[in-house]
Copies of this chain bind each other. A is one copy, B any other.
Amino acid sequence: MELDLTDIKLLKLLQEDATMSTKEISLKLHKSIAAVHERIKKLKKSGYIKKTVAILDRQKIGIGLISFSQVFLKAHTFEVLNEFEEEVSKFPEVMECYQMAGSYDFMLRIATKDMDTYHQFLRNKLAVLPHVNTVQTYFVLSETKSETAYHF
């Protein structure tokens, strides 16, 4: 499936605010309500729109600490990488997990209540995973920008 200019505009709008009604969007895009509706349906079905979610204020819900952890593994075979990915993904504290090119193996973004909770997570969950060699953690002092919308 190929996107035309209207699809792109539509995706960009929904990326910023998914609460807009089909009617509002139809006015902005100069299309009919039915046309917009069909396009959205198609974009969801074809996987361009993966999901629509509410973004919460993390401080307010008690997530006070964000940290980035660089994880080095002891080995780099297919099985080791796969097992680590599988296990680390199960932790609710791990918001993001990336395999990296360069000097370390994985980068994790970890969200916890506070430093103490992070400490428990590191000692009892992350560090005890098999194949983990070392973990280097950097803590976030302040969040300047945090976007979910891509510019394309």
Contact = CB atoms under 8 A, between A and B. Distances in A.
Given A48-B60, A150-B56, A150-B111, A98 B66 contact: yes
> Which among A47, A53, A68 has the greatest number of chain B C-beta atoms within 10 A?
A53
Q: What interface size band does chain A fall in?
A: 35 or more
Interface stretch (A28-36, A123-131, A141-149): A141-149
A51 interface: yes
A80 B27 CA distance: 43
Contacts of A62: 152
Contact of A101 (B95, B141, B146): B141
A45 interface: no
Nearest to A105: B141
10 contacts: A11-B61, A14-B54, A15-B54, A18-B52, A18-B53, A52-B55, A94-B147, A97-B146, A101-B141, A104-B138
Interface of A: 3, 11, 14-19, 47-58, 60-63, 66, 68, 85, 88-89, 92-104, 106-107, 111, 113, 138-152
Nearest to A139: B101
